[in-house]
Amino acid sequence: MEQFQHYIGGAFSEGTARFESRNPATGEVWAMMPEAQAEDVNAAVEAAHAAFRSPDWAGLSATARGKLLYRLADLIAENAEVLARLETRDTGKIIRETSAQVAYVAEYYRYYAGLADKIEGAHLPIDKPDMEVWLRREPVGVVAAIVPWNSQLFLSAVKIGPALAAGCTMVLKASEDGPAPMLEFARIFDRAGFPPGVLNVVTGFGSDCGAVLTSHPKVSHVAFTGGPGTARAVVRNSAENLASTSLELGGKSPFIVFADADLDSAVNAQVSGIFAATGQSCVAGSRLLVEHAIKDAFLERLKDKAEAVVIGPPDDMSTEVGPLCTRAQVDRAADLVARSVAMGARLVTGGQALDRAGTYFPPTIVDCTDTPDAPCLTEEVFGPVLSVQSFETEAEAVELANATEYGLASGVFTRDLTRAHRMVRAIDAGIVWINTYRAVSPIAPFGGHGLSGHGREGGLQAALDYTKVKSVWLRTSDDPIPDPFVMR
């Protein structure tokens, strides 16, 4: 049985309690994880707080912080295979994706390494002749980062990269479902040469460890990825300390196909949009909106592709759809589909958990054209379940696309350039992909609004969001200060 440890103040520890981690492909317990209790979380926040004030970190130049991040990026690239294998083993995410994704995670760290000494202040053309006024950008302080199971190395990179580039220190809580890749990441981080306490990694359950972390008085910002229900609890917790928050909460993203689209591309992109990562993706294109004239033909091609998908063990390079991370996710997907079908939605393919060891759920398509209230159409499934609706006009496509409380991503497939531009304006989402889907880069901001949260990860803006602005006023005149009872 493998054993994992917490990383607090630059040292590894067993933690005060432990819990079992299951391999989703087999259902077997394969590792023991440390379960952070309040005392562990407090120790981690204290370590981050001390590091934030220590000259070893606070006194480093931004360029030196960047060099440490470059070293971390190199170590991630060197250890990508180990990290990918652990992520696959502990979460069920297929090795085909984890190996490509971890290699790309190193690029996120490189991007923020390069950005560290480009986070600039400003000089203001102030309206007073005897004053110089400039702005300093300073790190916000201790950041609490919370990630879910689905892409932890990636979802943590978009928090750790910009926060450390800005000069913050952090406590990261890995998901209790599949924490192994993050705890291994801590071992790699330890070798990069950062001062102790700059990053602390713990894992444990949300209701105790997560709640203590997000309400801690020494935490200045909470960066959270997870579901909207948990986000509300996190925001309530952070109100204790009036900490700022950035929330990335998933979505119910529309994937819109017009009749003039390149249908080969659209079908493949839709398969990628909903079945890749076994649908456990915040940007999953989970609502297909297809122009009525091509609906039947498009659905037929999609059904063929869905049924030809290779379902299998996640550590096999030929597998395309692996298990869901937990039994709870399988039950949730099955329940949402069953309730939708009971309301009159038409099951096109899939729909039931596979009768084999592990937590497997097949690619599923549900035609909800006549059931706009079907729960698999309105709720985030976080599994390989695609809901379908059709439209006759562009205006109807926009109306259906925006008929959601989420606002994260969207896809538009059309060859009509002017229509594509109109759709960009009309769609209410943080990301619009045109004739492509599920493309990401460290250079492009990522995030949504409404139930999808707020704040952006990726890009320059993310690093700025980990800073606070200080206005500095310098009087340049040697004359006595005039009337003290008048504001200057």
Catalytic residues: 248, 282
> What residues numbered 105-164 form the site for ligand TXE, per CB under 6 A?
146-148, 150
Q: Which is nearer to ligand TXE, 119 or 146 (CB)?
A: 146
Instruction: Verify binding: residue 175, ligand TXE, rule CB under 6 A.
Output: yes
Please give the structure tokens belonging to residue 300: 């037929």
The least distance separating ligand TXE from the CB of residue 160, rounded to whole angstroms, comes to 15
Count of positions (residues) in the chain: 488
Q: Which stretch binds ligand TXE (CB under 6 A): 210-218, 301-309, 393-401, 466-474?
A: 210-218
The backbone torsions φ and ψ at residue 214, rounded to the nearest 5 degrees and listed phi first, read -75, -15
Q: Binding to ligand TXE by residue 91, rule CB under 6 A?
A: no
Question: What are the start-end ranges of the H helices in 29-136?
Answer: 38-53, 55-58, 62-78, 80-91, 95-115
Q: Which is nearer to ligand TXE, 4 or 70 (CB)?
A: 4
Site for ligand TXE in 215-254 (CB under 6 A): 225-227, 230, 233-234, 237, 248-250
Bridge-based pairing state of the strands 122-124 and 142-146: unpaired
- Binding to ligand TXE (CB under 6 A): which residues in 176-205? 176, 205
Q: How far apart are CA 141 and CA 333, in angstroms?
A: 39
Which residues have CB under 8 Å from 122's CB, separation 6+?
A: 134, 135
Three-state DSSP class for 44? Answer: helix
Which of 207, 211, 245, 243 has the alpha carbon at shortest distance from 225? Answer: 245
Which stretch in 169-177, 301-309, 350-358, 472-480 sits in contact with ligand TXE by CB under 6 A? 169-177
Q: Which residue is nearest to ligand TXE (CB)?
A: 206
If we measure between CA atoms, which residue out of 158, 196, 177 comes closest to residue 56? Answer: 196
**Helix (H) or strand (E) run with residue 433 in it:** strand 433-434
Residues 263 and 252: beta-carbon distance below 8 Å = no
Least distance (Å) between residue 222 CB and ligand TXE: 8
442 scored as a contact of ligand TXE (CB under 6 A): no
171 makes contact with ligand TXE (CB under 6 A): no
Q: What is the distance between the alpha carbons of residues 350 and 348, in angstroms, rounded to a whole number?
A: 7
Minimum Å distance from CB 249 to ligand TXE? 5
Q: Is-contact 198 60, C-beta < 8 A?
A: no
- The CB-of-372 to ligand TXE minimum distance in angstroms stands at 20
Pick 270 or 452: Cβ nearer ligand TXE = 452
Q: Beta partners for 391?
A: 291
Note whether 173 binds ligand TXE by CB under 6 A.
yes
Of 48 and 397, nearer to ligand TXE (C-beta) is 48
Nearer to ligand TXE, 291 or 457 (CB): 457
Tokens of 214: 């997000």
Binding site for ligand TXE (CB under 6 A): 146-148, 150, 173, 175-176, 205-207, 210-211, 214, 225-227, 230, 233-234, 237, 248-250, 282, 332, 380, 382
